[in-house]
Structure 1
């Protein structure tokens, strides 16, 4: 699965190609200019030898540059995974919440699989079939649990805000990722405000959740690293199994 930042360091092949061509031209000229006088031949030998040395040096430098850039990109990739692992996990926790709500509320088979948006729709449909008293109980339960997950996401996003400069100079935070993080920050901050409202009505709760989850679907799609979150079939309360399924999709 392609990452948002994929191999930030690049080899400048163009300059090495130019240097190789120039060196080869010097060698070719030295081999074919054989009808000149002795003085010229000596000059040509010097040019030819210099060209051979330049060619050898260019090839060695080129190979070393390729090796060094590959090593740098591998290190950056490892750091990238470490830095963004927590945020990916927090977002996964949020989308898993809806399936867990449904299983807890309906007492259905805990091995049932659905995408997170399908779990959300099932959860909403189940809520609508309950009597008013049960709906009040479920609403309080939903608000309490979602608020806890959302706050953890916001804590993680706040860390990115505090470390933005360090991440930028470390080549693991570019304009594209800044936009992605800002989208999540806005959405989860909005969710936090909704969930903190006192005496929120069920209609208002679901209207806001519809809007937030519609945006979440788009934001997940915009981040290459977690695009598969929208299509993976999740099993409630089986986080490790869900992660293994995602790893298969990444291969």
Structure 2
């Protein structure tokens, strides 16, 4: 899976190339202008050039090894910091599949697979087609189920915000990712507000339509979870490796 910030540490090859080229030029001059410079001076320049060139190669090999280790450590820290939020978001979008199966058993959709936005639309349509008394019961069900992991999402975001300055120093949080996290925080704050305050059914779905569009966009902006918008979810099945691989491939094709 992709990381929005992957292998943040880069080798400054320009420095090594520049020093290497200067060493080669000095070596070339010492060999071809030996008579003009004098053998002693020429030998000194030649030896220094060869030594410098060898040192550059050794230093580059060491730097490549150190850089690889630093990037492996950075990727490990990145996963530790952001995985919780990614998992909580996956749990939230999967909830729409579970809700549809629980709320409308007559649909017999427990074995079907759809994207989370498709499950949302199926749930919304069947809710609207239900009678008033059923709608009242469903609203209570929706609010209780959707509220379950909002606290978890907020805690995961707070954890990231608490480590913001350390993450920035370690090049694991840039302005782009910071904006994505902030937008996701706003999305789920709106969801929490709607679940807590909104009692009118029409206003509930009108607000959720806007939230869904915003959440789809912000998920698409985060490379790590972009495939969530293409992941075919089955009720009561949070993760399916095969379907995730298909979603990642489709996401890569669409966003190529």
User: Same-fold call, TM > 0.5?
Assistant: yes
Alignment of 1:78-227 (within 5 A): 78-107=76-105, 108-197=108-197, 200-227=199-226
Cα deviation, 1:105-162, whole Å, max 9, x if unaligned, reads: 1221311000000000000011011110001000111011112222221121122222
Moved more, 135-144 or 166-175: 166-175
- 2:25 alignment counterpart: 25
C-alpha contact (below 8 Å) 2:230/2:247 kept by paired residues: no
Using the TM superposition, give the Cα deviation of residue 171 of structure 1 relative to its aligned residue in structure 2, in angstroms: 2.2
Name the Cα RMSD after superposition.
1.6
Counterpart Cα distance in 1 of 2:92 and 2:220: 15
Taking the aligned partners of 2:14 and 2:84, their CA distance within structure 1 comes to 39
Partner secondary structure for residue 197 of structure 2: coil
Deviates more, 1:175-184 or 1:102-111: 102-111
Task: State TM-score, norm by structure 2.
Answer: 0.91
Greater CA drift, 188-197 or 227-236: 188-197
Alignment of 1:36-55 (within 5 A): 36=36, 40-55=38-53
* CA positional deviation for 1:63: 1.4
Once residues 69 and 141 of structure 2 are traced to their aligned partners in structure 1, the CA distance between those partners, rounded to angstroms, is 49
Give the drift of 1:248.
5.6
SS of corresponding position for 1:9? coil
Q: Post-superposition, which runs of at least 4 consecutive aligned residues in structure 1 deviate over 6 A?
A: none
Q: Please, which runs of 5 or more residues in structure 1 have no aligned partner? A: none
Q: Which secondary structure state, in structure 2, belongs to the residue aligned with residue 93 of structure 1?
A: helix
Q: Deviations over 1:197-248 (max 9, x none)?
A: 16x111111111111111000000000001000011111111132x553256
Gap regions ≥5 residues in structure 2: 250-256
Q: Deviations over 1:15-42 (max 9, x none)?
A: 11111111111111121123237xx210
Following TM superposition, by how much is the alpha carbon of 1:98 offset from its aligned partner in structure 2, in angstroms? 0.7
